[in-house]
Amino acid sequence: MNLQGIFHQPKSNYCFAYDKNNIELRLRAAKGDLTKVSLIYGDKYDWENAIEVEMERSFSDSLYDYFIVTIKAPSNRLAYYFVLESGEEKRYFTEWGPLKSVDKDEIHLHFFNYPYVNEADIHKVPDWVKDSVFYQIFPERFANGDPSISPKEVEIWGGKPERGNFFGGDLKGIIEKIDYLEELGVNAIYLTPIFESTTSHKYNTIDYMKIDPHFGDKETLKELVSKCHQKGIKVVLDAVFNHCGHDFAGFKDVIEKGKKSPYYDWFYINEWPIKIKEVRNNPLKDESDDQPSSYETFGFEPAMPKLNTANKAVKKYILDVAKYWIKECDIDGWRLDVANEVDHEFWKDFRKAVKETKEDAYILGEIWHDALPWLRGDQFDGSMNYPVTRACLQYFAYEKMEAEGFRDLISNTLMRNTRQVNEVMLNLLDSHDTARFLTECKGDAQKLLLADTFLLTFVGTLSIYYGTEIGMKGENDPDCRRTMEWNRDKWNMDLFNAYKDLIHIRLESEALRRGSFKWIEELKDVVGYIRETEKEKVIVLINNSDNIKNVKVKVKANGYLDLLDKENVDIENNEISIIMDKYKSKILRVL
């Protein structure tokens, strides 16, 4: 038995309360090592009535197997240990590690504990997110609804995006396109920053309490949110609280007054006077290799001085901002820029302030790596799931791995977080910070469609970057921020219609939105999995290869309802036989 591979930790992503009645427990072991894992559990005050239940090997990655079981804690208290078997070898895994035997007279000293299921400790995520398909909009490039408020030097719509140019997109333009959002089928939008700023991207905020004049005003935002809500569309805004813009009033005051400024400690000032040459008028257009030394910034960008969120005045100001826009305009949540560089205590206070203002507001962190430290229930609800993006790039776009490697990567991401977090992670293929997925696929729309078929049938919510659904391309920033193409003659209509169909299927299927997720392990060179609730079972099959595959899936069924393509599917004696065309998928609802 490979003892070094065994891992478990109470009150973590390996043992957590999903809700008041269900606790999920996970145990990690070396891949292929354990033949059976059992859980012995009970109330620590009534251990004589402990229960034994076998755990299921639910997921595997390249190194480990993950055994999972969901139970109800007796009397809301839980004590437990594991029985591990590898062939004839048996071990008992407790807080003291894997033991050859346990003494019933001392087990109370070292069994694992989930002392009490306190409802206040349960990570409750916004229920509506599970039923959402997001659409990410870069406002300056989506639609120009009011040319009278556009910047003076506006490029022709459809021109080449540069770091410093403008095209005139605004909030009114989004309002005018709500019918399009409804046609596509999305029911939530996430807008990159809309507050006053000197740039097209607005990540260098001047005034957090003011909508950028080139986008509209507070009344325009209210109208946008209200009309979206009338169509059943949620609205999430981008919050840039790690840093501000160099024209932010407080920072300008520091430049002028130094330590005499009441805002001096709002920033991380290394020396004063601040070197004015570091604060350029348009640093994002005329880049330089100079790195600021007078003050800390986002990256090494002088236009974005870093805010000291540990400062009480800064914290109050930002929390007031977060609450203000929820109260004033009824927005449905915040996406948090550079969230991993802000201190945890700030985010804990942020969560309390936001949830007290709107209990089901969605708090989404921009974190590109393992986000568990922020996803324990006291900070964010979910994060942008870039680890899944990477897996999709490797498998679908670049074809650098086989189906097994893809399953391993996805399984690993699922085991990083609790079940409720996985259900509200924002899964995406591309964004304003990445090259377009279609470009990464070298223009192969079928690969893009396969990847989105996976995400629209996977655990979590999907975010579609504006224009991806019609076949827009773009290299990395700034090319990925092209203006939205509104001439339908230039759209990939097959792709657009496929997106509409997939979104409709997801929103109509309880299993695809809220069901359990399980790989069909007997399939080796085709990605297959089952999403299931008590009411519904859906089988998803994806053939990401240039070979036709003959697939057989054993499943208890009287028949099936094929949701996309009724050809080449037969069922007999509880076995579904499917001919999978190259680079094609099948979504089957089993009856």
Closest CA to 477 of 203, 168, 205: 203
Query: Catalytic annotation on 370?
Result: no
DSSP 295: B
Which of these is catalytic: 170, 196, 337, 423? Answer: 337
Q: Is the dihedral of CA 200, 206, 209, 210 positive or negative?
A: negative
Tokens of 196: 């006053």
For strands 584-590 and 537-543, give the pairing: antiparallel
Tokens of 428: 């995406």
- Tokens 């033991």, residue? 99
Closest CA to 344 of 369, 326, 365, 359: 365
> What is the enclosing helix (H) or strand (E) of 467?
none
- One-letter identity of residue 163: R
Q: Alpha-carbon distance 356 to 346, whole Å?
A: 15
Strand partners, 114: 78
Q: Alpha-carbon distance 226 to 236, whole Å?
A: 13
Which of these is catalytic: 196, 366, 440, 532? Answer: 366
DSSP 320: H
For strands 461-465 and 560-562, give the pairing: unpaired
Burial class (CB in 10 A: 0-12, 13-18, 19+), 135: buried
Are the C-beta atoms of residues 246 and 263 closer than 8 Å to each other?
A: no
3-class secondary structure, 307: strand
Burial class (CB in 10 A: 0-12, 13-18, 19+), 296: middle
Are the C-beta atoms of residues 418 and 24 closer than 8 Å to each other?
A: yes
DSSP track, 170-189: -HHHHHHTHHHHHHHT--EE
Burial 330-342 (b: 16+ CB within 10 A, else e): ebbbbbbbbbbeb
- Tokens 């399953």, residue? 407
What length does the chain have? 591
> What is the enclosing helix (H) or strand (E) of 446?
helix 445-456
DSSP 374: G
For strands 527-532 and 516-519, give the pairing: antiparallel
DSSP 337: T
- Tokens 């990540």, residue? 203
Q: Is there a cis peptide before residue 478, judged by omega within 30 degrees of 0? A: yes
Query: Catalytic annotation on 440?
Result: no
The half-sphere exposure of 503 on its side-chain side, counting CA atoms within 13 A, is 22
Q: Alpha-carbon distance 542 to 590, whole Å?
A: 17
Q: Give me the active site residues, please.
A: 337, 366
